[in-house]
Amino acid sequence: MQPIGGVLCSLCGERIFNPFAPQTSAVKCGLCRRAAPPFIRAVAYGSYERELRGLIHLLKYEGVLPAKKALGRLLAQAIAALSAEFGPEVVLVPVPLHASKKRQRGFNQAELAAAEAIRLIGGNTLRLESGVLVRRRNTESQIGLTRHQRRENMRGAFAVTRREAVKGREVLLVDDVFTTGTTVSECSKVLLSAGASKVWVATIARTLKAEVQVGNAGASEAVQALKAAV
Ligand SMILES: [Zn+2]
């Protein structure tokens, strides 16, 4: 498993392929240039593929709890990329599951990884606050929806239960996977309107454009093969 390399968007962490993109800390992807996300910056340890994807699935879908240790270590590495920007105290909030989902699974993978990461990072900067954010609606499947539909689908899905826990505080939102950013953006908005001063995002994995491009390259090869066969 390898950390994400190359030029990344300074806001959402998406890979930037433009060979002329400046190698500065201020580089932004097209989506973030059009509309800045509500969080300050999102970082992820690795690309959501192969072994890392397998490791996340092991915990999430197969309930192999010891996998949380390795995932917590990777999350801690992602958090380390942000720590220079943190104030003296940061509230760590895992993206919650809907109560019925959590009951069914028996745990929240983001919460388990967050607890492990805190244990490894130590110090007094990070404080885990698991119950601060709740998921009021089950919105797990966003597959096949457009960006706009995903945002609509997510609206009102989260709520802050204890405003005093986040009011005037810096919040680090953590999740297992950053896919389109719709979930963490919605959570960030809710936390900010509850009075959080800043919201950062750290995830174990992130889907990256490369996978789509590799997919397209594969597709064009398939088209070539098909043409040759006809
Ligand atoms: Zn971006």
CA of 11 to the centre of ligand 1 (A): 5
Q: Note whether 140 and 153 are within 8 A (CB).
A: no
CA of 14 to the centre of ligand 1 (A): 5
In this prediction, residue 220 carries a pLDDT of 52
In this prediction, residue 19 carries a pLDDT of 67
CA distance 77 to 114: 12
Residues around the ion ligand 1 (C-beta < 5 A): 9, 11-12, 14, 29, 32
In this prediction, residue 24 carries a pLDDT of 67
In this prediction, residue 144 carries a pLDDT of 80
In this prediction, residue 222 carries a pLDDT of 47
Fold of the domain spanning 38-229: Rossmann fold (3.40.50)
In this prediction, residue 97 carries a pLDDT of 95
Q: Note whether 134 and 60 are within 8 A (CB).
A: no
Report the first-to-last Cα separation within the chain, whole angstroms.
41
In this prediction, residue 212 carries a pLDDT of 46
CA distance 139 to 97: 9
CA of 117 to the centre of ligand 1 (A): 25
Beta-strand pair 158-160/133-135: antiparallel
Low-confidence ranges of the chain (pLDDT < 50): 211-219, 222-223, 225, 230
CA of 16 to the centre of ligand 1 (A): 9
Report domain extents, the chain.
Answer: 38-229
CA of 147 to the centre of ligand 1 (A): 14
CA of 43 to the centre of ligand 1 (A): 11
